[in-house]
A and B are shown apart, each in its own frame.
Chain A
Amino acid sequence: MDRKIIFAGILLAAAALSPAPINDARVKHPHVAPRSQAEVEKEQQFNGVTPVVGQVPKYTNEIGEESSKLHVMRSSEESTSDITQGSERSDRVAAMEVQDASKRVQAEASGSGHSWLVGVMIAIVGYLGWKAVQYKLEKSFPVPEGVRAASKH
């Protein structure tokens, strides 16, 4: 008897000196004894499905509130950005711009192909023109046969 009293006193003193008893066994609690396997086997009579109680929401949001919509977007009026999104007009304009710009860039890219063609044409015309001038010069200032023959050696 004495020993138990002394032991209890030590426990009480230790508890008083110890840190705040939040997460340990010194907190007063309902003690539930573990079941034997036989007892648990009897509890298997509870196994099964219980019908739905109350309403079942399709969604719960982050605070567990039930709703048909998952999240509420912040209203655009609160936004400080000048970005426009979601209005019919802006959608239409943006879509047109994306399409128009795509077409323009594509057209300009194919346009650079015509430039090459023009370049080739100029080269051909230039070459023919030079040949024509050469022909004209030879006609106007014929080189004497002797000089021509000598220049070949």
Chain B
Amino acid sequence: MNKLRRKRGSTFIAAAMLMALISVAGMTYMSSASDVMKTSKRKALDVQMAQLCDAGVQTILRTYWRDFKNSQSFDLLDTTCANASLNSPKGTATGSLPGVGRFSASIISCVTPVGDSYSRQVTIRAVGYIDSNGNSALDSNEPAKIIDVKATYQLNRSQVFDYVYFVNNYGWMTGFSDTDLTMNGDLRSNGNFTFSNGLPTVNGTVIATQNEKLSTGVDGIITGTPVKWSNSTYATTQGGSYSFASRMRQAYDSSIHGLKTASTYDSWRDILFDTSGGVDDGRITGATLSDATGSEGWTKTTSSSTPTYNQIDPAPTQEVVMPDLGDISDYQTLSTNYVDTKATYADGTANPYYNQGAWVDVWNSSTNSYQRLSTNGNISGSATLVGTAAHPIKIHGPVTVLQDAVIKGNVTGQGTIYTGRNVHIVGSIIYNNPPDFRGSNATTIDNTNEKKDLLGLAARASVIMGNPNTFTSTTLQYMTPPFTKSRKDDNGNTIPAFDATVVDSTGKMKYKSVISDSTMNSIAEGINQVDAVLYTNFVGGGNLGTAGGGVTFNGSIISRDEAMVVYSLPMVMNYDTRVKERSLSKKPLVDIKLPRSPVLLKSTWQDRGTSYGS
């Protein structure tokens, strides 16, 4: 009996132990499974809430970017986000991703970096949460995630100055043969680009861009394939007696500029013409035809030869945002505050203008002396500036003219004239000390050209060439609709096409000067040479070469609509490489304070933590 009891007892103990083991194993498994489920749920929540945070961040960034891109000023940011902090968030936005959750985002810091008035560093805090009870508010028991993003709104050197010819609405060249027009530089349009009724020579890249904001030309297509010289033809031409050979950028020659894999090439790459389009160091180099269908190199050395193409990159081109001079007071401030901070040039010689402000001086033949037209870098009213070789216009730094600047003749110095209305070019503009881009040593060339004359002309309204009092419908047709294009801004507002014949608040039609007709008639003459970088918010155009002898541009023209009518041939445009940003230094050789373009840089993204609620 006792034996049986002991047997039963031991069996019971074994069974109990087995049950206990199974229970422990089961509980362990259950615990593990519930942990996995909890972790999975949290991971899913994490991803969802990160997306919600990103939506909040993008909402804030986009809102201020749209305004910044249009206005190209920090006014809205500065006004809205002054003294923003975590205890006082500014510029808030709320919203939802349907079926996921909601977000709230605010700017918790907006800082102007010391010594850099062209930047605003913004910190955005975004909260993404799962609105489980659907009350459109964050409750204490709801999961939430916080992310901080730092971004910088910046007015940077504009890419538009990398081109000898940049037109926002429509790039066009009509009626030119390969010997009539030679473009030694890169060409770009933020819409279509058309060569018609003849094919000019383009020793550089041509870019068209798809642009749905334009009323026409939205496809971003290049029509017509221009003639392009080989590197050897270009070098031979530059080495001969070609007019303004010294103002042409050089053609790539591996014996001078090094192999493309060599370090020597780095100091040349930004300022060369290379007829062979390709990819080097991850970026497209050499001359290409680039549009909405991608980029390709091409060969067409004579007007009669059939072009051949080689595909380089299927990626479509992107819009390059033009600077906007809408608020002239920004440039008045720039002129007032300007001080030349370059104590010495790159070769070690002293800069005679070091520590000086902005000014422009002209010769007065009545008093036989120079007179300073500017006061603290500004001119209230309009300015007439006529220079001669003996008594050139002298300029230093950015000078702002409240209305028109009427200019012709010889110029010396380095600077930019900003105008609240038009720039009227009424005769050739000629540097007294022009640069020379020839030579075999990049440093020597740069050191010499750094000190040579350089002029920028930037108009809030238009750059008009020739005597506007003599313009006929031949010219005006390109300054009025339907040739000029309407478009939409980034807020969806329609911007009607520019019309030069409309009268503005001065009582003058937009293409005419506020300077009297008699003065304009007295000083206007044919334009054969323009040594300047021209920038205009609206139209760049007018009559050129009316005195015969052709026209040579040594600089650039950047405009929204282009309306140049050329009355004598040939026409040549040479890009001035001194205003191009170099890859190594991220700066141009000479900084004449040209207009800037807005950019948005996202710098850091930081997860500040997650609450999974209860």
Which residue of B has the minimal Cβ distance to A51?
A: B381
Contact between chains at A41 and B390 (CB < 8 Å): yes
Contact between chains at A70 and B96 (CB < 8 Å): no
Provide the A50-67 mask, 1 if CB < 8 A to any CB of B, else 0. 111111111111111010
CA distance A44 to B180 in the complex (A): 34
Which residue of A has the minimal Cβ distance to B379?
A: A49
Contact between chains at A85 and B524 (CB < 8 Å): no
Q: Does A90 contact B (CB under 8 A)?
A: yes
State whether A84 and B94 are in contact (beta carbons under 8 Å apart), knowing that A48-B384, A63-B495 are contacts in the complex. Answer: yes
Which residue of B has the minimal Cβ distance to A54?
A: B506
CA distance A51 to B174 in the complex (A): 40
In the complex, identify which listed stretch (B23-31, B252-260, B564-572) lies at the interface while the others stay far away: B564-572
Q: Which residues of A contact B384 (CB under 8 A)?
A: 46-50
Contact between chains at B144 and A105 (CB < 8 Å): yes
- The residue among B173, B371, B611 with the most chain A CB atoms within 10 A of its own CB is B611
Contact between chains at A44 and B388 (CB < 8 Å): yes
State whether A37 and B528 are in contact (beta carbons under 8 Å apart), knowing that A20-B197, A24-B176 are contacts in the complex. Answer: no
Q: Does B127 contact A (CB under 8 A)?
A: yes
Distance in angstroms from A57 CB to nearest chain B CB is 6
Contact between chains at B96 and A53 (CB < 8 Å): no
Contact between chains at B389 and A37 (CB < 8 Å): yes
Provide the B593-614 mask, 1 if CB < 8 A to any CB of A, else 0. 0000000000000001111000
CA distance A94 to B59 in the complex (A): 13
Q: Which residues of A contact B95 (CB under 8 A)?
A: 81-84
Q: Which residues of A contact B403 (CB under 8 A)?
A: 50, 52-53, 56
Within 8 Å by CB of B89, from A20, A40, A82, A99, lies A99
Distance in angstroms from B325 CB to nearest chain A CB is 8
Which residue of A has the minimal Cβ distance to B367?
A: A45
CA distance A21 to B196 in the complex (A): 11
CA distance A20 to B198 in the complex (A): 9
Contact between chains at A49 and B67 (CB < 8 Å): no
- How many interface residues does B have (CB within 8 Å)? 116
Contact between chains at A94 and B546 (CB < 8 Å): no
Provide the A76-88 mask, 1 if CB < 8 A to any CB of B, else 0. 0010011111000
Q: Does A95 contact B (CB under 8 A)?
A: yes
Q: Which residues of B contact A37 (CB under 8 A)?
A: 388-390
Q: Does A108 contact B (CB under 8 A)?
A: yes
Which residue of B has the minimal Cβ distance to A27?
A: B474
State whether A40 and B388 are in contact (beta carbons under 8 Å apart), knowing that A24-B566, A52-B403 are contacts in the complex. Answer: yes
Contact between chains at B546 and A42 (CB < 8 Å): no
Q: Does B92 contact A (CB under 8 A)?
A: yes
Q: Which residues of B contact A43 (CB under 8 A)?
A: 365, 386, 522-523
Contact between chains at A105 and B611 (CB < 8 Å): yes
Contact between chains at A46 and B505 (CB < 8 Å): no
Q: Does B109 contact A (CB under 8 A)?
A: no
Q: Does B140 contact A (CB under 8 A)?
A: yes
Contact between chains at B176 and A23 (CB < 8 Å): yes
Contact between chains at B491 and A32 (CB < 8 Å): no
State whether A23 and B565 are in contact (beta carbons under 8 Å apart), knowing that A41-B388, A83-B93 are contacts in the complex. Answer: yes
Q: Does A113 contact B (CB under 8 A)?
A: no
Provide the B374-418 mask, 1 if CB < 8 A to any CB of A, else 0. 000001111111111111000000000011000011000000000
CA distance A8 to B496 in the complex (A): 45
Q: Which residues of A contact B389 (CB under 8 A)?
A: 37
CA distance A58 to B402 in the complex (A): 10
Contact between chains at A21 and B489 (CB < 8 Å): no
Contact between chains at B507 and A53 (CB < 8 Å): yes
In the complex, identify which listed stretch (B100-108, B236-244, B581-589) lies at the interface while the others stay far away: B100-108
Contact between chains at A59 and B366 (CB < 8 Å): no
Which residue of A has the minimal Cβ distance to B503?
A: A54
Contact between chains at A46 and B461 (CB < 8 Å): no
Q: Does B146 contact A (CB under 8 A)?
A: yes
CA distance A53 to B362 in the complex (A): 22
Which residue of A has the minimal Cβ distance to B523?
A: A43
Q: Which residues of A contact B105 (CB under 8 A)?
A: 94, 98
CA distance A58 to B329 in the complex (A): 7
Q: Which residues of A contact B366 (CB under 8 A)?
A: 45
State whether A32 and B385 are in contact (beta carbons under 8 Å apart), knowing that A44-B363, A63-B496 are contacts in the complex. Answer: no
Q: Does A73 contact B (CB under 8 A)?
A: yes
Contact between chains at A60 and B506 (CB < 8 Å): no
Contact between chains at B386 and A47 (CB < 8 Å): yes
CA distance A108 to B386 in the complex (A): 73
Q: Does A101 contact B (CB under 8 A)?
A: yes
Q: Does A119 contact B (CB under 8 A)?
A: no
CA distance A37 to B388 in the complex (A): 7
Q: Does B44 contact A (CB under 8 A)?
A: no
Contact between chains at B93 and A47 (CB < 8 Å): no
CA distance A63 to B176 in the complex (A): 30
Q: Does A13 contact B (CB under 8 A)?
A: no
The 10 closest A-B pairs by CB, nearest first: A19-B197, A54-B506, A94-B92, A83-B95, A105-B609, A94-B104, A53-B514, A97-B104, A44-B365, A47-B362
**B interface residue numbers (CB < 8 A to A):** 59, 63, 67, 70-71, 73, 75, 86-89, 92-96, 104-106, 108, 125-127, 129, 137-138, 140, 144, 146, 173-176, 180, 196-198, 324, 326-329, 362-366, 371, 373, 379-391, 402-403, 408-409, 420, 427-428, 460-461, 467, 470, 472, 474, 489, 491-493, 495-496, 498, 502, 504-508, 510, 514-515, 519, 522-526, 528, 537-538, 543, 545-549, 564-569, 608-611
Would you list 13 pairs from A and B whose C-beta atoms are within 8 A, ordered by A residue?
A22-B197, A23-B173, A24-B569, A32-B547, A44-B363, A50-B382, A50-B515, A57-B505, A58-B328, A62-B489, A71-B493, A83-B95, A97-B137
List 13 additional A-B contacts (Cβ < 8 Å) besides A23-B176, A64-B504: A19-B174, A23-B564, A27-B565, A29-B546, A32-B526, A34-B528, A50-B381, A50-B514, A54-B505, A58-B329, A102-B146, A105-B608, A109-B609
